[in-house]
Amino acid sequence: MAPWSRLAPTMVGRMRAPNPGRTYQVRTGTGLAASSTDSGYAVDMPRSLRSGFVALAILAAVAGCNSGAAVTSFDPTTPCTADGRFPGAYPDLEAQVPKSYMSAAPETLDSGRNCTTANLGSLAGKGITMVRFAGGTWTFGAERAAVLARFTADGLDATSLADLYERSAKAASRTNITNETTPTVAGRPGYRLDTETGQRTQTVVVWPSATAGIVNVVITDDLPDARIQDAIDAFGGH
């Protein structure tokens, strides 16, 4: 069964969520923070997001806002035997990540690959043996953050990636799913998952890129719906 298939599609184009989150101000300054040793997206986001999003984070956040940890380097030209990521690993994918969100460049940008069953999760059961990813992280103070990422793999589609996030959210003991919808994004069928962990809200939006074989992902922590839409718009319809 496709994820969230019991739900009728919601808005076409613009997206709307029942929980607008909190208002916030964009943090001034940039400055890179060191990255986490975890090799998937969202595990590298702020601690509050990671505490509730650790399951959702199997694949989903790139660059680190968690100081003191190191990236996992590898040779991108060799067969994948271990998960890893670092800036410049896959420059072709990094070049496809939005260069600006909220009038700012990403604070961190890197790319990598996952091939272990632990990080592939339900994708491994679909015959996917390696996923490449790239993405950037923006933070806005009070541990509010957004990750804009792109994923690619033989056999990967938005439905499979959305299913991974849904399964992971259901398996996370401290995370409650508050809303699951199937919006149309840039004219293509997408998936949106809204969750709560304590006082914090998290959102994952997954939809197919206009480029064959690429899946777009937006992950946010405690951002209002308008800022989630801005993140989607940052992809420029790609």
- With residue 85 as reference, give the H or E element that holds it: strand 84-86
Cβ pair 177, 105 in contact under 8 A: no
What's the CA dihedral at 39, 41, 44, 50 to 10 degrees?
Answer: -120
Would you say how long the chain is, in residues? 238
Asked whether the predicted pLDDT for residue 73 surpasses 90, the reply is no
State how many domains the chain has: 1
Tell me, what's the pLDDT at 71?
64
Q: Assign 17 to helix, strand or coil.
A: coil
Is the CA virtual torsion 51, 56, 59, 65 positive or negative? negative
Identity (one letter) of the amino acid at 110? Answer: D
Rg (CA), the chain: 16
CA distance 227 to 222: 10
Tell me, what's the pLDDT at 119?
84
In a domain, 192, yes or no: yes
Count Cα neighbours of 234 within 13 Å in the Cβ-side half-sphere.
29
Domain that holds residue 122: 47-233
CA distance 235 to 209: 9
In a domain, 19, yes or no: no
In a domain, 25, yes or no: no
In a domain, 30, yes or no: no
pTM: 0.77
Count Cα neighbours of 66 within 13 Å in the Cβ-side half-sphere.
20
Asked whether the predicted pLDDT for residue 209 surpasses 50, the reply is yes
Residue 128: CATH number of its domain = 3.40.1000
In a domain, 155, yes or no: yes
Q: How many CB atoms lie within 10 A of CB 60?
A: 27
In a domain, 122, yes or no: yes
Q: If pLDDT is split at 50, 70 and 90, which confidence band does 3 have?
A: low
In a domain, 183, yes or no: yes
Chain segment 135-173, per-residue pLDDT in tens: 999 999 877 899 999 999 999 999 999 998 888 888 877
Residue 126 CB-density burial (10 A; 0-12 exposed, 13-18 middle, 19+ buried): middle
In a domain, 35, yes or no: no
